Amino acid sequence: MLTHPVSTIRAILEREFPQTCITSVHALDKGYTSRQWVADTDQGRLLVKVPQRERDPEHLRRLIAAAQVAAEHGIPVVRYRQLVPHEPAVGGPLVIQEFQEGDAAGDVWESFSREERLALVGDLGDVVGRLHAIKGPHFGDVVGGTVAPTLRQAVEAEVEALLPQADLRLIGGADALRTAVGAALARLDDAANIPALTHGDLWLPNVLVREGRISCVLDFEHAAYADRFRDFGKLDEHLFDDFTDGREVFLEAYTAACPLPDDHRERIDLAHFLHALAMHAYFLRWTPQWAPQYAEQAKAWLARQS
């Protein structure tokens, strides 16, 4: 990743917040797709993030808009203070937000006892359920850029966008995938095809905890109005595939906040496939050695449809 001197970040903060006294700035060794700095100020701590992969400022606008919608419905999220669409000193956009105290759940998970883990996934079920209870006016961007009136149109457009990015030699033919996705969509109850606010990158590193309980949900960069079970793809892969004891606790809390439709198992199964296809395309671009495992998952799903 690119890096920048602390003095550069300090100068940007002093320019953007001229009435604020910046007492110190230091780099933060965290984040998978951005460089980060923490600033101590007389008005509280700030976090500066410079994206390294997705550098389109519209991406950050969607992030901030989605977090604002979540905050309006009581979801604990970050408060964003400033978006700089293009900062010459860092060669791209940056965002300044309030720094949230706490530990990433992914960093402390291994140190938790079984009871602490169950308490955390219960919290997570409640928060995710309340997030998914937020309904949208359409499927697609929170800010209304790319939208679709129906779930079928949204999913089929997503698949069409992913197919050219995938190595279909590892998965199956494009026509077979289109047919299988269409059939899976046809089996869903139309009445439950309701756009919900989804996080889009839901796993433990994007959840902050204090004293073992959730204090904040981070990084709504991939948030969208979608079928709510899309969030179950990454969550199941990175949490419940290993911690199977927690899934029932999670679902109980989730269902209390956002009841499950009768076809939720079919929706989750489709969500797992779409997650695998998206992750295959993503890692094929950024970290190719991880792409084949997701191709295998997508191929296995396709085989089950025939």
Structure tokens at 175: 């026509």
pLDDT class of 52 with cuts at 50, 70, 90: confident
CATH code, domain carrying 46:
3.30.200.20
Do 74 and 145 have their domain in common?
A: no
Do 19 and 121 have their domain in common?
A: no
> What's the pLDDT at 224?
96
pLDDT class of 4 with cuts at 50, 70, 90: confident
> What's the pLDDT at 2?
52
> Which residue among 66, 98, 130 closes a domain?
98
Do 39 and 115 have their domain in common?
A: no
- Domain for residue 15, yes or no? yes
- Domain for residue 275, yes or no? yes
Give the tens place of pLDDT for each residue, 268-284.
999 999 999 999 999 99
> What's the pLDDT at 31?
64
pLDDT class of 201 with cuts at 50, 70, 90: very high
Give the tens place of pLDDT for each residue, 164-184.
999 999 999 999 999 999 999
Give the tens place of pLDDT for each residue, 78-102.
999 999 999 999 999 999 999 999 9
- Domain for residue 1, yes or no? no
In the chain, pLDDT over 90 holds for what percent of residues? 91
- Domain for residue 41, yes or no? yes
> What's the pLDDT at 54?
80
> What's the pLDDT at 106?
96
- Domain for residue 14, yes or no? yes
Average pLDDT rounded to a whole number, residues 192-207: 97
Do 107 and 93 have their domain in common?
A: no
CATH code, domain carrying 150:
3.90.1200.10
> Which residue among 55, 82, 98 closes a domain?
98
Do 93 and 218 have their domain in common?
A: no
Give the integer Cα–Cα distance in Å for 204 and 1.
23
Do 18 and 60 have their domain in common?
A: yes
Looking at every residue in the chain, the average pLDDT score rounds to 95
The pLDDT of residue 53 is above 90:
no
> What's the pLDDT at 56?
87
> What's the pLDDT at 55?
85
Do 53 and 198 have their domain in common?
A: no
Range of the domain at 92: 6-98
- Domain for residue 296, yes or no? yes
> Which residue among 98, 119, 146 closes a domain?
98
How many domains, the chain?
Answer: 2
> What's the pLDDT at 144?
83
- Domain for residue 33, yes or no? yes
Do 61 and 108 have their domain in common?
A: no
Do 179 and 34 have their domain in common?
A: no
In the chain, pLDDT over 70 holds for what percent of residues? 98
Do 200 and 171 have their domain in common?
A: yes
- Domain for residue 193, yes or no? yes
Do 89 and 130 have their domain in common?
A: no
Do 53 and 138 have their domain in common?
A: no
> What's the pLDDT at 34?
87
Give the tens place of pLDDT for each residue, 119-166.
999 999 999 999 999 999 999 999 988 899 999 999 999 999 999 999
